[in-house]
Amino acid sequence: MNKKVCTKCNKNKCLTEFTKNKNYKDGLNYHCKACIKEYNENFKLKNPNYQKDYFKEYYKKNKPKYQETNKKHYEAGTTSIQRDKEKWAKYTDEWHRQDAKKLGKTYVKGLLKRKGLTNQDLIEMPSLIDVQKELVETKRMMKKEKNSNIAKIDIELELGSVFQTIKETQKKTNLNLPQEKDNIALTINNTGKALRALIEIKKVQK
């Protein structure tokens, strides 16, 4: 009972050797799995473009339907390209936020470029990046200092290197940049001046 004869190869085979087909009385195909496999392989060899042509034809027939679906997706902003764009924009936004937070090179360079410096300038005078970074760092600490006494110690430590930068700039530019250890605002202002002076030197050299 659990065997039947394949009408193709005429072999008596187990029922598990036949694929299911609801259209037939016993719910199984007339031909065994091995025969169907052989038939499919032969068909593919004889008609190599059959599948491609079939889908081409299918697409042609259903083109309006596809176009309608695509239009809906496009209008809803849910095509894969639009979704990827959104994801990518979110990712880059977050990256820039983090870069600004930790005063990364991209962020600091961006600040300098807005002051009129080019990539080439920054390659030739990499110390400008450090000066700008310290300037922003000190400004941020000043803001924080308003709410916290501990930050004051940090500021004093930070200012050590800012003073050093001003001193070096002073030598190069003959600018008068007074330094008062207790006057943070003046120091920041002078660091800004020092930075602008360095930029001016660069412009004159060109």
CB 30 within 8 A of CB 5: no
- The Cα 152–Cα 159 span in angstroms is 10
112 binds Zn ion (CB under 5 A): no
32 binds Zn ion (CB under 5 A): yes
35 binds Zn ion (CB under 5 A): yes
Nearest C-alpha neighbor of 128 from the set 205, 204, 200, 206:
200
Runs of H (alpha helix) within the chain = 33-46, 50-61, 63-76, 80-101, 105-114, 119-124, 127-145, 150-173, 184-205
Find the binder of Zn ion among 6, 117, 162, 166 (CB under 5 A): 6
9 binds Zn ion (CB under 5 A): yes
Residues that bind Zn ion (rule: CB under 5 A) add up to a total of: 5
Please say which residue, 10 or 80, places its beta carbon nearer to Zn ion.
10
- The minimum distance between CB 92 and Zn ion, in angstroms, equals 60
Choices 28-36, 80-88, 134-142, 175-183; region in contact with Zn ion by CB under 5 A:
28-36
Choices 26-34, 161-169, 187-195, 196-204; region in contact with Zn ion by CB under 5 A:
26-34
Please say which residue, 6 or 188, places its beta carbon nearer to Zn ion.
6
- The distance between the two most distant Cα atoms of the chain, rounded to a whole number of Å, is 108
- The Cα 203–Cα 59 span in angstroms is 62
Binding site for Zn ion (CB under 5 A): 6, 8-9, 32, 35
